[in-house]
A and B are shown apart, each in its own frame.
Chain A
Amino acid sequence: MSWRHLLHVVGAVVAAVGVSMLSAALVSVVYREWSDVAMITLAAAATVAIGLAMWRGFDRPGELTTREGFAAVGLAWTAMCLVGALPYLFTGSITNITNAVFETSAGFTTTGASVVPDPALLPHGIQFWRSLTQWIGGMGIIVLSVAILPLLGMGAVQLARAESPGPTPDRLTPRFSETAKRLWLIYVAFTAIEAALLWIGDMTLFEALNHSLTTLSTGGYSTNAGSMGAFSAYSQWIVIVFMVIAGASFSLHYRAVRNPRLYWKSAELRLYLAIMVIAATLIVIGTWGGGVLDVIRDAVFTTTSIITTTGYGTADFGLWAPALEIMIVGMMFIGGMAGSTSGSVKVYRLDVLYEASRSDVRRLIHPRGVFVTRVGKKAVPDTIVEAIQTFFLLYMFAFMTGTFLLAIIGSTGDPQLDMITTVSAVASSLGNVGPGLGLVGPTENYLVVPALGKWLLAALMIVGRLEILPILILFNPELWRR
């Protein structure tokens, strides 16, 4: 395979990122932060220039094969997370390259782990850029470019497949570009509705817009150091509802606009909601005391925030009982539905894994029995079951290796990273959640992690967001052979 084809695709994605920076410059214009306008525009110009140079300099691929698509997406996302750091560096909001790339990676991958102690002190344009990276990364920049620009040609479908979260991409229309348009339409619509509802409450328009961008993408960046804890109960409940929406499949949302009964028919949605209800109940029991309504709200908020991998905080769960902290780490491995903007393993895969293992147990009783793995009533083909089992194995392998490496790196830090910090930071980054426990708890930030550790976590975020394979394939020698 020709690496020139890959670089052509990467160039297109980089250029698209550059163009999107201009909207951050526009925000700076509104707030009359003229030096930021200049610097962000400069960053945008540089990014677009790099992107166009690559795009024009390398041949356009005719049609991409599946593996080329995966590899291109893996490279493109890595490149995005590098060039997306330019606005932070140019405006001087974040001066250290490592920190800027970490912040960008946590943005595009919708992780929401931050190295900014108080986002409110950042210029408005940069605050907006932070939120926008999450919003773009949530639905996927390639899905976006397929929807708006025919920039990527024939290979776009392969690319979008590699970028879309979930094991089985769902088509709403015969043509993929039309499907992409509809998904973005519903994404934009939900974002607008949430922003309006938050604006009615105690948020300013700017805050409402930023929070809706990071809710629908299940990102979790806040404009406020206190995250959602700084806002009213009303705003928190609105955010809960929209986190649940963002963690559900967007193609399901689209279909359900015409036929709301489809929601109830989706076995995955029922399971997704059931998991959250059970988890929230356990947390309510575990944190019982004081104002009952506050306890319930904090429990529901934390559950939805972690399971949908958003990562906003209201309560400091770093102070909770050990059993609940272990539960929080466990919840980082769940995620929302396939086809949502959430990260982590996802309910569909967990259901398939459970059903497949149940079939294996039944096979002990009927050694020659034929057992079909199903989600709800729908049978899942064996090839997909195996792919999901492999995915889970790789996911856990990435988690174990990541934890081991961060533990080594963390021992050089000051203060040294303890066990719970290390484990939770890796689980949180890989699952695109955001906050961890211990030194990287919901009221802390990731500044404490040594530089090398930040690069590791940023890499894990991309691995988690792209669901491993697009990155793993880059290390496969067969890919690079002609």
Chain B
Amino acid sequence: MRIIIVGAGAVGSYLAERFSLEGQDVVVIESDPEQAARVMAELDCMVITGNGASASTLEQAGLGEADLLVAVSSSDAVNVLACNAATKLGIPRKVARVEDPELKAEVEALGVDLVIDPGEAAARDLLVLVSTGRVSELVEFGEGKLVLLGAYVDAGSSVVGTTLAELRDEVEGWDWLVVAVVRHGKTMIARGSTQLEMGDHVLLITRADRTKGPYELLGLTDRPAEKVIILGGTRLARMTAELLAERRVATTLIESNPARCRAIAEALPDVVVVCGDPADPKMLQSEGIGNADAVLALTGWDGNNLLGCHVARALGAGEVIARFTNTELAGLLGGGSIDATVSSRLSAANEILRFVRRGKIHSAVTIPGSEAEALELEVGPRSPAIGKTLADLKLPRTLIIGGIQRAGDAFVPHGNTEIREGDHLIAVALPAGIPVAEKLSG
């Protein structure tokens, strides 16, 4: 599949990396020569330096043979123009990043299949995290009957030092499964012999109605936040505050720039906007950070967010979530004082991946700080897996099946579970495992 990506900024270069790791033909168009050179050096893809809105540049990139155009430059106008050119050339699928909410409907009317705003995508992800205490990920699969949960293993946790096989023996009639462990920025598909360590980022799949067991095991609560403090007045902070206020969560936003404070206070009547340094302990205390259920550090600087999280944790805040613009930091710094991380580029990439995979694969989700993806795929009539048990399949170490949705029911499979036609498999795969997963669907 030939994929053209316009703009090698945060979202674009991340997507280019993922697609090229999967073995797709990726062409990146970037106007900044330095950025273009960097992408060319790091990734196995074609890079064209030029204006992504210009028809001649797009033609040079081979737009005519492309199957997908992803216009994710930082300019709404360039993205819309690129999609327009793609529509004229009859490119089947188009994705555009558009930040201006007023333009969204108009761009969709132009025939763009997916219009995405990274800030909005991240704000929605934050909302999910805030409504579940101290969970780092929560994604629903199989019509909401199965969930993928993520959490960090705390220092005092009882599971430190035990292997997954031992854990499984302890719990009777388990209906959850640890599928992957992220440690020091590397993702391992879970095996029985995997031993859990402090600071591990654990991903598990469980039935949506039986989350109590895994929650207890990982020391989590599922009480939704009632009081949230947001550090920073960025676009993401503002959008998140708006979503929280709509859900009647008591929201306080702290920003240091007075003019920005005023603009946010004018736009969001239900949010308390406080003007001051977001990392000033005295002020955080006077705003009652000690009894905040969640603190979201969403300033534009990763360093400030890290600092804000540490201060918040030290002052006794409940769940602490940081935003990192550098996706690598998002993976490395989770755990310790930070319960979860978000990144608008990852959130946006997630949505785009979900859209691109649509077809045999029903949905796909990336996990911050990990190269693994969670996929939901349907077993078609020509699938080689029909009639075989999971053990028979001899899946590679880059792929694990953690849940099956079958005829209105959903469960966590065992080694001797037989796969039938029409099953929806919930799999977690490293990039190399994705083609294997695709084969399973037939």
> Quick check: A369 and B269 within 8 Å, CB to CB?
no
> Quick check: A370 and B261 within 8 Å, CB to CB?
yes
> Interface digits, B269-283 against A, CB 8 Å rule (1 contact, 0 not)?
100111110000001
> Interface digits, A365-381 against B, CB 8 Å rule (1 contact, 0 not)?
01111111010010100
| Bound CA–CA A366/B284 (angstroms) | 11
> Quick check: B275 and A372 within 8 Å, CB to CB?
no
> Interface digits, B233-269 against A, CB 8 Å rule (1 contact, 0 not)?
0000000000000000000100000100110111001
**Most chain-B CB neighbours within 10 Å: which of A362, A370, A372, A374?**
A370
> Quick check: B265 and A371 within 8 Å, CB to CB?
yes
A374 and B275 in contact (CB under 8 A), knowing A366-B287, A367-B286, A368-B283?
no
> Quick check: B274 and A369 within 8 Å, CB to CB?
yes
> Quick check: B265 and A370 within 8 Å, CB to CB?
yes
Residues from chain A with a CB closer than 8 A to the CB of B258 are 370
| Bound CA–CA A372/B272 (angstroms) | 10
The total of chain B residues at the interface (CB under 8 A) is: 16
How would you classify the secondary structure of chain A's contact residues: helix, strand, loop or mixed? Answer: loop
> Quick check: B266 and A372 within 8 Å, CB to CB?
yes
Residues from chain B with a CB closer than 8 A to the CB of A367 are 286
Residues from chain A with a CB closer than 8 A to the CB of B269 are 372, 374, 377
| Bound CA–CA A370/B254 (angstroms) | 10
Chain A, 210-245, CB within 8 A of any chain B CB = none
Please pick, from A362, A370, A379, the residue contacting B275 in the complex, using a CB distance under 8 A.
A370
| Bound CA–CA A369/B262 (angstroms) | 10
Chain B's nearest CB lies how many Å from the CB of A351? 14
With CB as the reference atom, state the residue of chain A lying closest to B266.
A379
Residues from chain B with a CB closer than 8 A to the CB of A379 are 266
With CB as the reference atom, state the residue of chain B lying closest to A371.
B265
Residues from chain B with a CB closer than 8 A to the CB of A372 are 262, 265-266, 269
> Quick check: A366 and B272 within 8 Å, CB to CB?
yes
Residues from chain B with a CB closer than 8 A to the CB of A362 are 272
Residues from chain A with a CB closer than 8 A to the CB of B286 are 366-367
| Bound CA–CA A291/B287 (angstroms) | 58
With CB as the reference atom, state the residue of chain B lying closest to A374.
B269
Chain A, 342-374, CB within 8 A of any chain B CB = 362, 366-372, 374
| Bound CA–CA A379/B273 (angstroms) | 14
> Quick check: B266 and A368 within 8 Å, CB to CB?
no
Residues from chain B with a CB closer than 8 A to the CB of A371 are 265, 273
Residues from chain B with a CB closer than 8 A to the CB of A377 are 269
| Bound CA–CA A362/B283 (angstroms) | 16
> Quick check: B276 and A368 within 8 Å, CB to CB?
yes
| Bound CA–CA A45/B435 (angstroms) | 99
> Quick check: B272 and A369 within 8 Å, CB to CB?
yes
Residues from chain A with a CB closer than 8 A to the CB of B265 are 370-372
| Bound CA–CA A371/B269 (angstroms) | 9
| Bound CA–CA A371/B275 (angstroms) | 10
| Bound CA–CA A366/B273 (angstroms) | 9
| Bound CA–CA A131/B258 (angstroms) | 53
Chain B, 280-303, CB within 8 A of any chain A CB = 283, 286-287
> Interface digits, B343-357 against A, CB 8 Å rule (1 contact, 0 not)?
000000000000000
Residues from chain B with a CB closer than 8 A to the CB of A369 are 272-275
Chain A's nearest CB lies how many Å from the CB of B273? 4
With CB as the reference atom, state the residue of chain A lying closest to B283.
A368
| Bound CA–CA A366/B265 (angstroms) | 13
Residues from chain A with a CB closer than 8 A to the CB of B275 are 368-370
Residues from chain B with a CB closer than 8 A to the CB of A370 are 258, 261-262, 264-265, 273-275
Chain B's nearest CB lies how many Å from the CB of A350? 19
Chain B's nearest CB lies how many Å from the CB of A415? 54
With CB as the reference atom, state the residue of chain B lying closest to A380.
B266
Chain A's nearest CB lies how many Å from the CB of B112? 32
Chain B, 219-233, CB within 8 A of any chain A CB = none
**Most chain-A CB neighbours within 10 Å: which of B258, B262, B283?**
B262
Chain A, 367-397, CB within 8 A of any chain B CB = 367-372, 374, 377, 379
Chain B's nearest CB lies how many Å from the CB of A446? 46
With CB as the reference atom, state the residue of chain A lying closest to B255.
A370
Residues from chain A with a CB closer than 8 A to the CB of B261 are 370
> Quick check: B274 and A368 within 8 Å, CB to CB?
yes
| Bound CA–CA A362/B273 (angstroms) | 11
Chain B, 19-58, CB within 8 A of any chain A CB = none
| Bound CA–CA A406/B265 (angstroms) | 46
> Quick check: A366 and B274 within 8 Å, CB to CB?
yes
Chain A's nearest CB lies how many Å from the CB of B261? 4
Chain A's nearest CB lies how many Å from the CB of B237? 14
Chain A's nearest CB lies how many Å from the CB of B253? 9
| Bound CA–CA A368/B262 (angstroms) | 12
| Bound CA–CA A370/B265 (angstroms) | 6
Taking Cβ atoms with an 8 Å cutoff, the residues of A that contact B are 362, 366-372, 374, 377, 379
Taking Cβ atoms with an 8 Å cutoff, the residues of B that contact A are 252, 258, 261-262, 264-266, 269, 272-276, 283, 286-287
Additional A-B contact list (12), CB under 8 Å, known A366-B252, A367-B286, A368-B274:
A366-B286, A368-B275, A368-B283, A369-B273, A370-B258, A370-B261, A370-B273, A370-B274, A371-B265, A374-B269, A377-B269, A379-B266
Give me 12 A-to-B residue pairs in the complex whose CB atoms sit less than 8 angstroms apart, sorted by A's number.
Answer: A366-B252, A366-B286, A368-B283, A369-B272, A369-B273, A370-B273, A370-B275, A372-B262, A372-B265, A374-B266, A377-B269, A379-B266
9 closest A-B pairs (Cβ-Cβ)? A379-B266, A370-B261, A370-B265, A370-B273, A372-B265, A368-B276, A369-B274, A372-B266, A368-B274
